[in-house]
Amino acid sequence: MDKPIELPDRLAEKGVSRRDFMKFCGFMAAVLGLPASFAPKIAHAVAKKRPTVVWIHLAECTGCLESFIRTTYPWAADIILDTIDLAYCETVMAAAGDQAEQVLEGVVEKQKGQYICIAEGAIPTKDNGAYGKIAGKTFVEIAKHVCGNAAATICVGTCSSYGGVQAAKPNPTEAKPVSEVIGKPTVNIPGCPPNADNMVATIVHYLLLGKLPALDSKGRPLFAYGYLIHDNCPRRGHFENESFVKEFGDEGAAKGYCLYKVGCRGPETYNNCSIIKWNQGVNWPIGAGHPCIGCSEPKFWDEMAPFYVGKG
């Protein structure tokens, strides 16, 4: 039998209550598709382990990190930021310049093959990677060194996963996904940006089971990307009845009809937005009357465009 769960002191000090902590664990079990009885196991796993994580920024807009740290309940990100040992992340770390670079190098040297790398952004490869540099090193060099020596790399966002907006035609910097540059598979959590709950749940899965989750053929965790938006959409009945919004602001829009004719790509997009929604279930694009633009699919900027134009 599991021992009683104690709220880790480090979380209590942050003002996270035991109730919120257990609520978080129950929610994570739901996102991962596990029975509610897994919540105490998640609590034990999150309370104990502190894997070292380095978060590298490449060519991107930082929307992925913003999505991660700006959850509706700040404690969701707080819990994870206190559970992992986030050794390096330019946006949120106190150190800067040489000091920051030394921290990163220290992790790569001393914890080779043991730390987790979270990568955000694509990698410009044209002209020997000249279009993306930090501390005099190209993104190509940084990714090969930091991701190449990690136990695993988790790509957050469509940019690091598949190239994203940087790789959209005509792709002037020859931007590529991280996996292609490092020559190793990565766990991909696409979306522009991805849902924070899917990022957090992937880390929780690792803490709970000591391994990364099962993936689809595009490297995406099946617990989050095993579903078509269309299959779980509350507007699906309107699709079947051919009740469509014909233009934004029309009567059909007011009635919450299907957005297919105004460009919804839900029928070809794998993601769990229609199940877990965003911001702890507050709303999501289609719930707010906006078509899904397919932001978690590879090459969506090229293949899902022109946006707001129906295919049927």
Of the pair 253, 307, the CB lying nearest ligand FSX is at 307
Of the pair 150, 233, the CB lying nearest ligand F3S is at 233
Cβ-proximal residue to ligand SF4, closest one: 266
Three-state DSSP state, 223:
helix
Q: By CB under 6 A, how many residues form the interface with ligand F3S?
A: 12
The answer to whether the CB of 227 falls within 8 A of the CB of 208 is: no
- What, of ligand FSX, ligand F3S, ligand SF4, none, does residue 271 touch, CB below 5 to 8 Å by kind? ligand F3S
* Residue 168 burial (C-beta neighbours within 10 Å; 0-12, 13-18, 19+): middle
Tell the smallest beta-carbon distance from residue 295 to ligand FSX (Å). 7
State how far the Cα of 151 lies from the Cα of 6, in Å rounded to an integer.
29
Q: What is the largest CA-CA distance in the chain?
A: 62
State how far the Cα of 36 lies from the Cα of 28, in Å rounded to an integer.
9
Tell the smallest beta-carbon distance from residue 262 to ligand F3S (Å). 13
Of the pair 111, 188, the CB lying nearest ligand FSX is at 188
- What, of ligand FSX, ligand F3S, ligand SF4, none, does residue 273 touch, CB below 5 to 8 Å by kind? ligand F3S
- Residues in the site for ligand FSX, rule: CB under 6 A? 60-64, 120-121, 157-159, 164-165, 192-193
* Strands 137-138 and 133-134, sheet pairing: antiparallel
State how far the Cα of 59 lies from the Cα of 165, in Å rounded to an integer.
9
Tell the smallest beta-carbon distance from residue 121 to ligand FSX (Å). 5
- What, of ligand SF4, ligand F3S, ligand FSX, none, does residue 258 touch, CB below 5 to 8 Å by kind? ligand SF4
Nearest to 5 by CA among 44, 55, 31: 44
